[in-house]
Amino acid sequence: MVLRRECTARQMRLAVELRRLRDAAGLSAVEAAALLGVGRVQISHIESGLAGVSEQRLRRLAAHYSCTDETFVEALVVMATDRSRGWWEEYRGLLPTSFLDLAELEHHSTYRRDVEFLFIPGLLQTEDYARAAFSSRVPELPREELELRVRHRMQRKVILDAPNPVPYDAVIHEAALRIRVGDRITARSQLTRLLELSEADRVTVRVIPFDLDGFGGAWSSMMLAGGAVPKLDTAVRDAPHGTGFIDSEAQLGVFRTVFRRVVDVSLDASRSRDFIHRLAKEL
């Protein structure tokens, strides 16, 4: 058995879900290995994402683990057997792995939701805005890597431009709309582009104005990506040490609640467009 040198976030998620199913069934790794007629080490490799698992073995494990959620099992089978290589693979070894993992997550998502306080969400950024944002990074990025990051961010927009685009909801605080990332021209172009995208099919943009009474609905930016089934949803948080992918049901429940509350207090789509239009005219 050839082990992976590194696994993607999607492969790791499959491994985590198989471990959760085994734990829920109250079986040890030794017992699971006996069910498949393999050694305990192979189960360990599967549950750490270092080794894949065939459809037949995955279904056998799910049956032995008494998992009766057929839709969930089918989703795991797709994750286990998908051998396609997405556009993001051209960046492997050139950009941090988290960039590739995010693009892969978005590619397979059934919906995308963002809450942003300081920046325009990446999927809605213009090329000039993205370049200015990456240019402000400390330590400063080499020119070649900066341009790779900009190109990668622009390619991520494929999920919004596809014939059947992923439903996308963005809630943006007024601060992010007013902070100038780049010069005045960049800021005006970004707001104009935001207005255009807000009219796109299956894209909803909402604004949280500064003068909203009693707003305390979120503590920082967040992203939610829908899985094939709700159990496979993922939250993404950016932190100083890197991008974090969150998949525990308890934490996902918190993020879903936070997003729902933020949407409830934000301006609706029509009023948000009017708000953005007024800010653009000020520039």
DSSP output for 147-216: HHHHHHHHHTTHHHHSSSPPPEEEEEEHHHHHS-SS-HHHHHHHHHHHHHHHTSTTEEEEEE-TT-TT--
Domain 87-282 classification at class level = alpha beta
Model pLDDT for residues 96-154, shown as the tens digit of each residue: 999 999 999 999 999 999 999 999 999 999 999 999 999 988 889 999 999 999 999 99
How do residues 205-239 score in pLDDT, each as one tens digit? 999 999 887 676 666 789 999 999 999 999 998 76
Phi then psi for residue 2, to 5 deg, are -85, 125
User: For 9-81, which CATH superfamily applies?
Assistant: lambda repressor-like DNA-binding domains (1.10.260.40)
Residue-wise pLDDT tens digits, 163-193 = 899 999 999 999 999 999 999 999 999 999 9
The reported pTM is 0.93
High-pLDDT (> 90) share of the chain, %: 84
- Domain boundaries in the chain? 9-81, 87-282
Give the per-residue pLDDT at 218.
64
What is the predicted pLDDT for the residue at 240? 58
Q: What own/partner pairs with CB < 8 Å and gap ≥ 24 does 70-78 have?
A: 71/228, 71/229, 72/229, 72/231, 72/232, 75/227, 75/228, 75/229, 75/232, 76/14, 76/17, 76/18, 78/228
